[in-house]
Amino acid sequence: MNLIHELSSFLNQPFPEDESRFGTPKTALIVSIFITLFLIIFEPFGISTLGSDRYWVCAGFGAVTFFSSLLYEYAFGHVFKLKGKGQKWTYGKWIIYNLALMLFISLANFLYARLAIFGYIIWSLLPDMIYGTFMVGIIPVLAIGAFALLIAERRHIEMAAEINAKTSDPGPATESSLQKTLFGIPLSQIRYVEALQNYVKVGFLETSGQHATKTERATIKQILEETKGSSIVKCHRSFLVNRDAITSTKGNAQGLLLSLSDCPSSIPVSRSFIPLFRTN
C-alpha cells in the first residue's frame, strides 16, 4: 500500500516545463538520432535483409520520427492545448502525453515503411509497428523523464535553501510601495498579481488584515509599467509578486515557489526569473 502511495505521489509531482524556444526541436532531434542509431546497430524488424539500402531506410525512420514529433507537439501541444501548464503538468500526465506521441510516431513510421519501402499498405501490420516502437522507446522515455524530474527538483530545492539562508523574513516595505497604489490598493498591501487573459487577479490584504482578491481588466505588461521602480516584480509569465511580502522560498521540479505573508497562495517562479530572487 505504501508503494502504491509513493508511486502515486511521484507521478503527481509537477514536471519541468520547457521554456526554451528550441526545446522541442532539440528533443525531437535527439530522439530521432537515437532511433536511427538503434536501428543501424541492432537491425531489428528485418532491416538486416535490406542490404546497403538499410542505412538510408534507418535514416528515413529517424527523419520521420523527427518531423512527426514536431507535428504532434505543435498540433496537439499548442493548437489543441493537450499539454498542461504549471502545477497541473505532472510527471504522470507527461508520461501519457509521450505515450500518445509514441503512438503517433508509430503511425507515421508505418506509413513511411509501407509506402516508401514496399509501395502498399497492409493495415493488419500496424500493431506490429506500434509494438516495435514501444519496445524501442518506452524505457528511454520513462528514464529520461524521471531523470529530468529529479535533477530539476534537486537543483531548485538547493536554490530555495540558498535564498532562504539569505533572508527568512520580509524586509520593510519600500518607500514607493507605501506611496503608490494599484486599483486603489496600496502596493504595500498587494501580495501578487495573476494574469487571466485580458484580466488580472490581484491578491492583497484588506485594511482589516484579511486576504482578498480583486479582478480588474488589465494586462501584466500594463501593471509592470504602472508599478515600475516598486517592489512589484515579474516572477513568471503569468504572475507578478511583491518582493517585500516574501517570507520563504521552496523548490520543485518546475522552479521555485514563493510563500507570502498573510497569503494562502504559493506563487511560482519560472526558471528565467530565478536569478532575480537569488540576488539580494
Q: What is the pLDDT of residues 45-56, one digit of tens each?
A: 778 888 888 899
pTM: predicted TM-score of the whole model, two decimal places: 0.76
Sheet of 266-269, strands arranged across: 246-252, 255-260, 266-269
Q: Are residues 185 and 160 in the same domain?
A: no
Mean pLDDT of 12-22: 72
| Structural domain of 226 | 175-278
Q: Are residues 201 and 69 in the same domain?
A: no
pLDDT band at 169 (very low <50, low <70, confident <90, very high): low
Last residue of a domain, one of 164, 195, 222: 164
Last residue of a domain, one of 164, 191, 212: 164
Q: Are residues 23 and 141 in the same domain?
A: yes
Last residue of a domain, one of 139, 164, 189: 164
Question: Taking a C-beta distance cutoff of 8 angstroms, is the pair 240, 223 a contact?
Answer: yes
Q: Are residues 73 and 152 in the same domain?
A: yes
pLDDT band at 137 (very low <50, low <70, confident <90, very high): confident
Question: Taking a C-beta distance cutoff of 8 angstroms, is the pair 91, 15 a contact?
Answer: yes
| CA 40 from centre of chain | 33
Pick from 193, 84, 188, 101: which is nearest to 138 by CA?
101
What pLDDT sits at residue 171?
A: 55
Indicate the range of 106-115, 158-167, 218-227 predicted with least confidence: 158-167
Q: Are residues 99 and 216 in the same domain?
A: no
